[in-house]
C-alpha cells in the first residue's frame, strides 16, 4: 500500500485493504520547538533553511536563501525542510505544497523615518508604524478599507498573477513532485487560504466583521475573485500533482466559539466551498478539510452542508472532544485530536490520551495527530515515545488484522 492510498484509506471508515493507519502530523513544526529539539540531539538542519514570516498576514515560513517572486505563490519553500524534519522523527512521508494568490506582492516603501519610529508600507500593502525602541508595531492602515481599495488591489493582484503565475513557473514549482505523487511514494498535501481568512488579512479583524454589514457586496466579490483564481490555477496544478488532502486555512474559531454566525457562514462562505470542493475532486484531489483552531462545534452543520470532509486540528484545550463530536456527527472526519500537552507530561499521560481516543481511532475516518504544533517545552524523548506508540496503535487498531 503506498502512502497516498494509506492516508485516504485511514480517513475511511473501513479497515478493508488497510495495512495500518497513517502516522502523520497536520501542522508545520514550530521553530522554537525545533530549536529546543536541536539542543536535545535532533539536528535536521531545519532552522538553517527556513525562518518564520515577518508579516502578520503571512502564516508561513520562508526560505533563508533568496527566492524568485513566483516561488512565494507557487509555494514549495517549506516542502523539503519539513519533509527532512519529519522523516528524522519517523513520520510517514508527506510533501506539503501551497498555492498563494499574490496579494502579498508590493514593494516595501518607507513613508516616514524619525529617530523614534519608521512608518512603512509593507509587502502586503498595509501601512504600519515600527517603533525603534522595541515597542509594539502599530497598524495604521489596511490594504483594503473600502470598495475603491479593493478594486485597486484586485487590479494589482491580477497584474502579479499575469506576471508570475505562468505555466512555466507552475511546472518549475510542482513538476518535481509529479512522479512521486503519481506513484504514491509520498502523499502530497495542498494548502489554500480560505474564504474567511482572506478578507480578514485584507481588512483587519474588526473591519472584516463589520464588512459583513457595511460592505457585503465587496466581500462577495473578494470570494468570487478567489474562486476564479483558484479554478484557473488549480486546474493546472492538479494536472501535475494529485494531493491526497487539501487543507483550507480559516482559523475562524476561538476558545469561546466561532467568530462568525451560522447564518453568516451560510450566506457568505458555504457557497464558496460548494463550488470549489467538487472542482477539486473532479481533478483528482482526495479529501478536503477545513483548518480552524478553537471551538468550532456550533458550525459543524454548516461545514457539512458546505461539502467539507472534515476538520482539523481539533483543539482539545478549547474544549473540543472528538469522541463526543463523533457521537453526534458519525460521518465527520478528523485530523488531530491528540492533546499536545499530554506529550509534555510523559508516557503515562500519552497512554491515557490514546485510551481516550480509542473509540474514534477504531471507527476510522480520522488521522490522529497533535492538536496543533508540539510546544517548545515538549521533551524530544517524550515526542519520540508518542510517535513510537502512535505507530503501534495504528497497527493494532487500524488495518485488516486489527485487534
All structural domains of the chain with their residue ranges: 3-8+37-101+146-333, 104-142
Residues 6+ apart with CB under 8 A from 223: 195, 198, 199, 268, 269, 272
pLDDT (0 to 100) of residue 133: 87
3-state secondary structure 295-321: CCHHHHHHHHHHCCCEEECCCHHHCCC
Question: Which of the four pLDDT bands, split at 50, 70 and 90, describes residue 60?
Answer: confident
* 346-362 confidence digits (pLDDT tens): 999 999 999 999 999 99
pLDDT of 106 reads: 96
Question: Is the pLDDT at 403 greater than 80, yes or no?
Answer: no
Q: How many helices (H) and strands (E) does the chain have?
A: 18, 16
CB-count burial class (<10 Å; 0-12, 13-18, 19+) for 205 = exposed
For 288-323, how does the pLDDT look when each residue is reduced to its tens digit (9 = 90+)?
999 999 999 999 999 999 999 999 999 999 999 999
For 117, the 3-state DSSP assignment is strand
Q: What is the mean pLDDT of residues 89-96?
A: 97
Is 399 in contact with 356 (CB distance < 8 Å)?
no
| Phi/psi at 134 (5° precision) | 90, 10
Look at residue 193 and tell me whether its pLDDT is greater than 80: yes
CA atoms of 229 and 226, how far apart (whole Å): 5
pLDDT of the residue at 59: 76
Q: Which residue has the higher pLDDT, 73 or 401?
A: 73
Does residue 254 surpass a pLDDT of 90? yes
- Burial (Cβ within 10 Å: 0-12, 13-18, ≥19) of residue 296: buried
Rounded Cα distance between 227 and 10, Å, is 29
Confidence (pTM) = 0.96
Instruction: Report whether pLDDT(265) > 90.
Output: yes
pLDDT of 297 reads 97
Q: What φ, ψ does residue 249 adopt, rounded to 5°?
A: -80, 120
Tell me the average pLDDT across 159-163. 98
pLDDT at 100: 97
pLDDT of residue 63: 82
User: How much is the pLDDT for 232?
Assistant: 98
What does the pLDDT read at residue 200? Answer: 97
- Mean of pLDDT over the chain: 96
* Residue owning grid cell 478536503: 288
Phi, psi of 285 (to 5 degrees): -65, 145
The reported pLDDT for the residue numbered 401 is 85
What's residue 139's pLDDT?
96
Distances (CA, A) of 135 to 30, 108, 117, 129: 24, 21, 10, 10
Q: What percent of the chain has pLDDT over 90?
A: 92
Amino acid at each position: 500500500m503506498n502512502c497516498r492510498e494509506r492516508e485516504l484509506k485511514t480517513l475511511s471508515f473501513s479497515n478493508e485493504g488497510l495495512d495500518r493507519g497513517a502516522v502523520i502530523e497536520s501542522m508545520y513544526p514550530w521553530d522554537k520547538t525545533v530549536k529546543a529539539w536541536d539542543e536535545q540531539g535532533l539536528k535536521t538542519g531545519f532552522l538553517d533553511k527556513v525562518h518564520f514570516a515577518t508579516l502578520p498576514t503571512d502564516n508561513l515560513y520562508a526560505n533563508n536563501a533568496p527566492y524568485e517572486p513566483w516561488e512565494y505563490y507557487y509555494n514549495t519553500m517549506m516542502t523539503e525542510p519539513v519533509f527532512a524534519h519529519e522523516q528524522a522523527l519517523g513520520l510517514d512521508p508527506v510533501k506539503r505544497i501551497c498555492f498563494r494568490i499574490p496579494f502579498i506582492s508590493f514593494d516595501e516603501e518607507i513613508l516616514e523615518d524619525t529617530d523614534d519610529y519608521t512608518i512603512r508600507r509593507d509587502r502586503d500593502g498595509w501601512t504600519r508604524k515600527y517603533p525603534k525602541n522595541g515597542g509594539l508595531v502599530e497598524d495604521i492602515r489596511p490594504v483594503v478599507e473600502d470598495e475603491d481599495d479593493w478594486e485597486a488591489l484586485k487590479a494589482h493582484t491580477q497584474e502579479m498573477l499575469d506576471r508570475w503565475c505562468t505555466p512555466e513557473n507552475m511546472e518549475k514549482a510542482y513538476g518535481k513532485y509529479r512522479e512521486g505523487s503519481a506513484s504514491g511514494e509520498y502523499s502530497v498535501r495542498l494548502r489554500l487560504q480560505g474564504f474567511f481568512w482572506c478578507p480578514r488579512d485584507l481588512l483587519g479583524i474588526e473591519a472584516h466583521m463589520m464588512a459583513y454589514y457595511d460592505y457585503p457586496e465587496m466581500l462577495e466579490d473578494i470570494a468570487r475573485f478567489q474562486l476564479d483564481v483558484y479554478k484557473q490555477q488549480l486546474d493546472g496544478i492538479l494536472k501535475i500533482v494529485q494531493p491526497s488532502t487539501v487543507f483550507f486555512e480559516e482559523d475562524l474559531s476561538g476558545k469561546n466559539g466561532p467568530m462568525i454566525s451560522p447564518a453568516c457562514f451560510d450566506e457568505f462562505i458555504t457557497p464558496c466551498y460548494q463550488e470549489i470542493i467538487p472542482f477539486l475532486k473532479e481533478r483528482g484531489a482526495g479529501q478536503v478539510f477545513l483548518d480552524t483552531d478553537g471551538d468550532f462545534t456550533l458550525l459543524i452543520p454548516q461545514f457539512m452542508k458546505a461539502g467539507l470532509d472534515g476538520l482539523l486540528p481539533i483543539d482539545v484545550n478549547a474544549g473540543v472532544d472528538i469522541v463526543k463530536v463523533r457521537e453526534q456527527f458519525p460521518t465527520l472526519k478528523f485530523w488531530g485530536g491528540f492533546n499536545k500537552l499530554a506529550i509534555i507530561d510523559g508516557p503515562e499521560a500519552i497512554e491515557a490520551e490514546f485510551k481516550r481516543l480509542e473509540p474514534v481511532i477504531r471507527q476510522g475516518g480520522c488521522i490522529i495527530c497533535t492538536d496543533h504544533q508540539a510546544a517548545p517545552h515538549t521533551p524530544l524523548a517524550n515526542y519520540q515515545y508518542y510517535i513510537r506508540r502512535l505507530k503501534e496503535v495504528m497497527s493494532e487498531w487500524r488495518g485488516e488484522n486489527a485487534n
